[in-house]
Amino acid sequence: KAGVTQTPRYLIKTRGQQVTLSCSPISGHRSVSWYQQTPGQGLQFLFEYFSETQRNKGNFPGRFSGRQFSNSRSEMNVSTLELGDSALYLCASRLLEETQYFGPGTRLLVL
Amino acid sequence: SQQGEEDPQALSIQEGENATMNCSYKTSINNLQWYRQNSGRGLVHLILIRSNEREKHSGRLRVTLDTSKKSSSLLITASRAADTASYFCATDLNRDDKIIFGKGTRLHILP
């Protein structure tokens, strides 16, 4: 089985722009979670989608949003980018309620 | 605030020695998982221990869980250079199924 894939792998944006990141889960996995990882804050949970519905949400501003499609692929969007949004964004998929499988991440740099 | 807190934040040991990392958490959990991350890449799942289990082994890894103390430990025996990575504990909260990560322990194996 193919693993979790994320596109793009690297991205450079400027403040005020918006960005969309994509995640394709492992085939058969219906749950997709997104995390932001920075040196200062560590791994922070953004949100989780299950069967196209947002099931859980972390403590991030409304500029961070996501969605999941019927094929379980997920996108996250960040609008009005700020310098502090520079981070590694990780997507993970899981079957049922247990082990998460992570993608390689998208490294976003906001200038 | 983080649900899981790893201790120590950083650890350097000689190759061949054993490495022990600890994780403490705050609220009741369904299970606790340990992950490894190599240099800013995606996380790799190592082991999952359920709340009704006390110890689990996988190869050179040994994980213990003490729910009365809300703590877990990860022991890596006979460490190798390839074990150099950051190690995270993640707790699956039983109140809302959210998976929350600690800030990790950076392990450096010295040749």
B17-32: pLDDT as tens digits: 999 999 999 888 888 9
Q: B30 — contact with chain A (CB < 8 Å)?
A: yes
Q: Give the model confidence (pLDDT) of A64-97 as tens digits.
A: 999 999 999 999 999 999 999 999 999 999 987 6
Q: How far is A41 from A82, CA to CA, in rounded Å?
A: 16
Note the pLDDT of residue B95.
Answer: 60
Q: How far is A65 from B62, CA to CA, in rounded Å?
A: 38
- Which residues in chain B have Cβ-Cβ distances shorter than 8 Å to A43? 43, 88, 101, 103-104
Question: Which pLDDT band holds residue B100 (cuts at 50, 70, 90)?
Answer: confident
Note the pLDDT of residue A65.
Answer: 97
Torsions phi, psi of A87, nearest 5? Answer: -175, 175
Per-residue pLDDT for B92 more than 90? no
Total Cβ atoms within 10 A of residue B80: 11
Q: How far is A7 from B99, CA to CA, in rounded Å?
A: 23
Q: What is the mean pLDDT of chain B?
A: 90
In the 8-state DSSP scheme, what is residue B98? -
Q: Which residue of B has its CA nearest to A59?
A: B1
- Which residues in chain A have Cβ-Cβ distances shorter than 8 Å to B96? 56
Strand pairing category for A31-38 and A10-13: unpaired
Q: Give the model confidence (pLDDT) of A23-51 as tens digits.
A: 999 999 999 999 999 988 888 999 999 99
Q: How far is B91 from B70, CA to CA, in rounded Å?
A: 11
The beta-carbon neighbor of A99 closest among B2, B33, B103 is B33
What is the average pLDDT across B30-35? 91
Q: Read off the tokens for A2.
A: 């193919």
The beta-carbon neighbor of A100 closest among B30, B40, B45 is B45
Beta bridge partners of B99: B92
Q: How far is B48 from B36, CA to CA, in rounded Å?
A: 13
The beta-carbon neighbor of A56 closest among B41, B42, B96 is B96
Query: What proportion of chain B, given as a percentage, has pLDDT over 70?
Result: 92
Q: What is the mean pLDDT of chain A?
A: 93
Q: How far is A12 from A45, CA to CA, in rounded Å?
A: 22
Torsions phi, psi of B70, nearest 5? Answer: 50, 55
Contact A55 B97 (CB under 8 A): yes
- The residue among A58, A22, A54, A19 whose CA lies nearest residue A37 is A58
Under a CB-based contact definition with an 8 Å cutoff, are residues A85 and A101 in contact?
A: no
Q: B53 — contact with chain A (CB < 8 Å)?
A: no
